[in-house]
Structure 1
Amino acid sequence: MPDSEFPRLSQILTVAQMREAEQALIDAGSSVDALMQIAGHGAADWVWRMSAHRKVTVLCGPGNNGGDGYVIAEAIRERGGHVEVVAATEPKTGAAKNARALFGGEVLGPEAEAHGDVLVDCLFGSGLTRPLSDEHLALLTRLAAHHRHRIAVDLPSGVQSDSGMLLNRGLPQYDLTVALGAWKFAHFLMPATALMGTLRLVPIGVTPLEGAAQVLDAPHIAAPAADAHKYRRGLLAVVGGRMPGAALLASVAAQGAGAGYVKLFTESPTGVPTDIVVETGELSAVLTDDRNSAVLAGPGLGRDGEARERLAVALADPVAVVADADALVLLSPRALAGRTAPTIATPHEGELIALERSFELDGTGTRPERALALAKASGMVIVAKGPDTVIAAPDGRIVCAPRASSWLSTAGTGDVLAGVIASRAAAGVPAFEAAGEGVWLHGEAARLCGAAFTARELAAKVPEALAVCL
């Protein structure tokens, strides 16, 4: 899956929440200086591992992120490493001034032509809200060009923490980003996360904050009970449409994700594997089967009057429904009126915008804020899928998925995701958790595929991804 090791149930904090968490530590008896020492020494461990005794340059800014840099530099110096500091400007906070006073090595001015193997960016951290000045941007990019490897401490300078926006053009790429205290949304949101390389977290004692977003973690999935049978494991009804291939692809993926029985409703049974049950009769008959435990509608559904009727029949089934692709364009408050069973929607960016319009939302805010607003307005679990997938529930829960393989950017992988999520829902997993498990399995299957795979190959790797969770 991602190129990171995430502690289980890791929280993601906004800038305001992080300040609140740090203040709680200070109120409990710590201090800004003590927290800076913990964070700096933790980050220095990662810098030391990457530098392997090669020359390190630490770029320090005026605030506490710069103070972290002085602590890192001193920790490297004490270990016998070759390190020098470039100060973009004089430290301006008390803790940063103290950290600089404790550094026993060389401090160079911003005009210095520093060269080395590893650049550590401690110019600005998570509190940045405005673009870097021309002078600071020029300094950062010049030093980045003169070093083979680059590490960002907390966040790359020039990134907005809560939104993942880039405040400047032309920011450098990093090999490693070391988060301090807790993850920030920018670690998982585009376009910022694309700059960050491998992600690592240095804990500083922050306790779990109620209502905080979480990082999606590998689920634990139990094997079927010894006396299980196909219906107890879950019957998933997949509603096909004008493009039968998409629904078939979703069905194949669903077979490998835990459901005991996948039934495909299609008018074109040609090419369907023999182990997928095909129904060609009236859809209302298929979806009144009280053995159904979940329904998937959308892949290849179409957008005409007949497609609307099929979606309406699917939503009338009193079980969990996963709505994907064409179904998302047809969804509206009226279509969901009277539904009491869970609904999971899996929109990409264009479909997310269409749903926001349908539910009279203005579409403003960060990606997590938009997903949560739609979840609350619609009552659905929202899987805002893409290179930065966010899952939101009507009750306020938010989960961000770590970066998955960029090779997922190929036709049909969204159908696979819908099938996997629907399969987990059919297996009896609650909607929000089913969405998370589906997203994780999808990303793990992509990791197992390697490079340049097709959607069919991705679907074939789902059982192997599931085995990782047993």
Structure 2
Amino acid sequence: MTPIEGRPILTAAQMRAAEDRAIAGGASVETLMERAGAGVAEAVRRLAGGAPVLVLCGPGNNGGDGYVAARILRENGVAVRVAALAEPKTAVAIAAREACGGAVEAFPDAPLEQDDISPVVVDAVFGTGLSRALADDTARAIDGLVQCAHLSIAVDLPSGVNTDTGAELNPFQLPEYSLTLALGALKPAHVLQPSASLCGAVRLIDIGLGLEDIGSPRENVSPDATIARPWLIAPLVNAHKYSRGMVVVIGGAMPGAAALAVQSAMRAGAGYGLLFAAPGTDMPHAVVQREWSPEALSAAIRGKPKVGVVIGPGLGRNDDAVAKLDAAIACERPVVIDGDALHLLEERHFAIFRQRATIEDRDQRVFLTPHAGEFKALFGDWSGSKIEAARAAARRCGATVVFKGPDTVIARPNGHTNVALGGSPWLSTAGTGDVLAGVLGAALFSAHFGAAEAAVWMHAEAARRLGPAFIADDLARELSAVRASL
């Protein structure tokens, strides 16, 4: 079993294409199924602790993987029961069932009888490519068995989710598994909500598709991959505050939010923090404060080698805020646009972003950081895959879009996307978005690659370290330890 950080994400169609390439290269369907079943059997054997196992098999090749796993477990002395939803329909699945040996039970009905329940349940009913809801009786039987099991393992995907969107196909809540074993590659459903929360821990089973070098930890800007631990630049021996990066935060109606953003930038590694806010604002330590004017902004950044601008936290949405946004974009430095500023963006701004996106210059980059409500206000309603929605938005506006949430998706105008793993639900508190905006401002010049990925990872890591019931100020303070660890 392989951890999934920095690994590629394949849609159902891409997965079929990868399997076809492997077969054209000399592998057989039987070989791929044997590898998948062997990987599942090894995981079950290691985790089940000798307890009896119930393997649920569907009629397709996912069921075939289950028959192979059951056969190998039996050969290793594990007590295994197999229950089939229907007769296998593919030649390889039929052969796998015949080779499995032993009795195959009928699929249990809902509600369950006591004899149906097993301490370890392996769901190999439906995997990649499912597009319709399960029959209610089937879904409720799987639900009951998984809920009653001490250990529940989904083969490739939990039965009843859409591979490409992560949607639950049944009208009622599906069960949460202990572990999901992704076969060959991750799928969108492993990382997108709501299905990601059903998967439990996700680990990868290599079945020989030749994807080993795609999305490795230092290539986390590869198309459609999960975010890996970032690789950040340590200050050189001759470093000074400007060489480490200057983050300028432009405040407005609620200066506390802007102050939180600039404090977060400093704790995430920026060498200099400048806050444009009204006099009397409660200032973070080591941050310089100035009154706003376009001329003051130009003077502050003139001649500085590394400057990132953050605008939006606490900005407000009046005419003065629009003028500040225009000035931030016009200064032609990397700009992070968050919060209120997202609601002020217009097509004229998108035209500027698209023009900049054609320039290979890190000093021209633009980042938008919307949550779901802000995304809808900017780009309209969306349905289907959050990955595809973010990708389309980035192409439309010409900026990198950090579509925040429990399954944050980062999309670039060139179509590359990355997805964060396991966002903490405790991030759902006021001010945490302001913290992320500041971290991204700092990461613009400290990340060897993927500033947005580095910022999202650091933000999530700070939350993980804090555990439950923190506030945004706690999150900002924790960033110092996170940055030190990198």
> TM-score range with shorter-chain normalisation?
over 0.9
Match for residue 148 of structure 1? Answer: 150
Match for residue 250 of structure 2? Answer: 239
Q: Which moved more, 1:98-107 or 1:10-19?
A: 98-107
AA aligned opposite 2:468: A
The reply on whether 1:195 has 2:218 as its aligned counterpart is no
Match for residue 104 of structure 1? Answer: 101
Runs of 4+ in 1 over 6 A off after TM superposition: none
Percent identity of paired positions between Structure 1 and Structure 2: 45
SS in structure 2 of the partner of residue 461 of structure 1: helix
User: Does the CA contact (< 8 Å) of 1:384 and 1:391 recur in 2?
Assistant: yes
Among 378, 389, 392, which residue is 2:408 paired with? 389
* CA deviation string 1:82-121 (max 9, x = no partner): 2111111111111111111111333211247422211111
* CA deviation string 1:30-89 (max 9, x = no partner): 111110110111122221222110111111000010011111112221221121111111
Q: Which moved more, 1:250-259 or 1:319-328?
A: 250-259
SS in structure 2 of the partner of residue 322 of structure 1: strand
For 1:373 and 1:111, locate their aligned partners in 2 and report how far apart those are by CA, in whole Å: 44
The reply on whether 1:399 has 2:418 as its aligned counterpart is yes
For 1:408 and 1:305, locate their aligned partners in 2 and report how far apart those are by CA, in whole Å: 31
Match for residue 461 of structure 1? Answer: 478
Among 425, 434, 437, which residue is 1:418 paired with? 437
Structure 1 position 318, deviation (Å): 1.1
For 1:109 and 1:427, locate their aligned partners in 2 and report how far apart those are by CA, in whole Å: 58
Match for residue 376 of structure 1? Answer: 395
Structure 1 position 451, deviation (Å): 1.4
Match for residue 334 of structure 1? Answer: 348
What TM-score, normalized by structure 1, do the two folds share? 0.94
Match for residue 124 of structure 1? Answer: 126
For 1:458 and 1:314, locate their aligned partners in 2 and report how far apart those are by CA, in whole Å: 26
* CA deviation string 1:206-237 (max 9, x = no partner): 23479741111111112111111111111110
AA aligned opposite 2:118: G
Match for residue 261 of structure 1? Answer: 272
* Structure 1 residues 306 and 426, CA gap change in structure 2 (3 angstroms): farther
AA aligned opposite 1:321: V
For 1:216 and 1:274, locate their aligned partners in 2 and report how far apart those are by CA, in whole Å: 31
The reply on whether 1:303 has 2:317 as its aligned counterpart is yes
User: Does the CA contact (< 8 Å) of 2:232 and 2:446 recur in 1?
Assistant: no
For 2:348 and 2:448, locate their aligned partners in 1 and report how far apart those are by CA, in whole Å: 27
AA aligned opposite 2:344: L
The 5 A counterparts of 1:174-185 are: 174-185=177-188
The reply on whether 1:159 has 2:170 as its aligned counterpart is no
User: Does the CA contact (< 8 Å) of 1:324 and 1:347 recur in 2?
Assistant: yes
Structure 1 position 142, deviation (Å): 3.2
For 1:106 and 1:271, locate their aligned partners in 2 and report how far apart those are by CA, in whole Å: 73
For 2:447 and 2:67, locate their aligned partners in 1 and report how far apart those are by CA, in whole Å: 52
Match for residue 94 of structure 1? Answer: 91
User: Does the CA contact (< 8 Å) of 1:287 and 1:313 recur in 2?
Assistant: no
Match for residue 368 of structure 2? Answer: 345
User: Does the CA contact (< 8 Å) of 2:410 and 2:419 recur in 1?
Assistant: yes
Structure 1 position 270, deviation (Å): 3.0
Structure 1 position 122, deviation (Å): 0.6
Match for residue 355 of structure 1? Answer: 378
Structure 1 position 336, deviation (Å): 4.2
Among 12, 26, 30, which residue is 1:15 paired with? 12
SS in structure 1 of the partner of residue 197 of structure 2: helix
User: Does the CA contact (< 8 Å) of 1:235 and 1:426 recur in 2?
Assistant: no
SS in structure 2 of the partner of residue 230 of structure 1: coil
For 1:159 and 1:7, locate their aligned partners in 2 and report how far apart those are by CA, in whole Å: 19
* CA deviation string 1:122-146 (max 9, x = no partner): 1100110100112322331232244
For 2:447 and 2:465, locate their aligned partners in 1 and report how far apart those are by CA, in whole Å: 26
Structure 1 position 408, deviation (Å): 1.2
User: Does the CA contact (< 8 Å) of 2:231 and 2:448 recur in 1?
Assistant: no
For 2:26 and 2:375, locate their aligned partners in 1 and report how far apart those are by CA, in whole Å: 45
AA aligned opposite 1:189: L
SS in structure 1 of the partner of residue 474 of structure 2: helix
SS in structure 1 of the partner of residue 203 of structure 2: strand
AA aligned opposite 2:460: G
User: Number of aligned pairs?
Assistant: 460
User: Does the CA contact (< 8 Å) of 1:237 and 1:287 recur in 2?
Assistant: no
Among 52, 56, 73, which residue is 2:53 paired with? 56
AA aligned opposite 2:342: L
SS in structure 1 of the partner of residue 464 of structure 2: helix
* Cα root mean square deviation, aligned: 1.8
For 1:5 and 1:229, locate their aligned partners in 2 and report how far apart those are by CA, in whole Å: 41
For 1:427 and 1:53, locate their aligned partners in 2 and report how far apart those are by CA, in whole Å: 49
* Structure 1 residues 181 and 286, CA gap change in structure 2 (3 angstroms): same
Match for residue 134 of structure 1? Answer: 136
* Structure 1 residues 31 and 284, CA gap change in structure 2 (3 angstroms): same
AA aligned opposite 2:385: T
* CA deviation string 1:335-391 (max 9, x = no partner): 34445311100000011111104xxxx634411111011101110000000001000
User: Does the CA contact (< 8 Å) of 2:118 and 2:145 recur in 1?
Assistant: no
Match for residue 282 of structure 1? Answer: 293
User: Does the CA contact (< 8 Å) of 1:284 and 1:313 recur in 2?
Assistant: no
User: Does the CA contact (< 8 Å) of 2:117 and 2:149 recur in 1?
Assistant: yes
Structure 1 position 274, deviation (Å): 3.3
For 2:296 and 2:351, locate their aligned partners in 1 and report how far apart those are by CA, in whole Å: 22
SS in structure 1 of the partner of residue 231 of structure 2: coil
* Structure 1 residues 298 and 5, CA gap change in structure 2 (3 angstroms): farther
* CA deviation string 1:263-311 (max 9, x = no partner): 1110144321231111124243124422251100000000011111111
SS in structure 2 of the partner of residue 231 of structure 1: coil
SS in structure 2 of the partner of residue 140 of structure 1: helix
AA aligned opposite 2:160: G
SS in structure 1 of the partner of residue 265 of structure 2: helix
SS in structure 1 of the partner of residue 252 of structure 2: coil
Q: Structure 1: where are the runs of 5+ without partners? A: none
For 1:198 and 1:8, locate their aligned partners in 2 and report how far apart those are by CA, in whole Å: 12
Match for residue 251 of structure 1? Answer: 262
Q: Which moved more, 1:295-304 or 1:43-52?
A: 43-52
For 2:350 and 2:250, locate their aligned partners in 1 and report how far apart those are by CA, in whole Å: 17
Match for residue 170 of structure 1? Answer: 173
For 2:294 and 2:462, locate their aligned partners in 1 and report how far apart those are by CA, in whole Å: 31
* CA deviation string 1:177-223 (max 9, x = no partner): 11000000011101111111111110112234797411111111121
User: Does the CA contact (< 8 Å) of 2:231 and 2:447 recur in 1?
Assistant: no
For 1:32 and 1:221, locate their aligned partners in 2 and report how far apart those are by CA, in whole Å: 42
What TM-score, normalized by structure 2, do the two folds share? 0.91
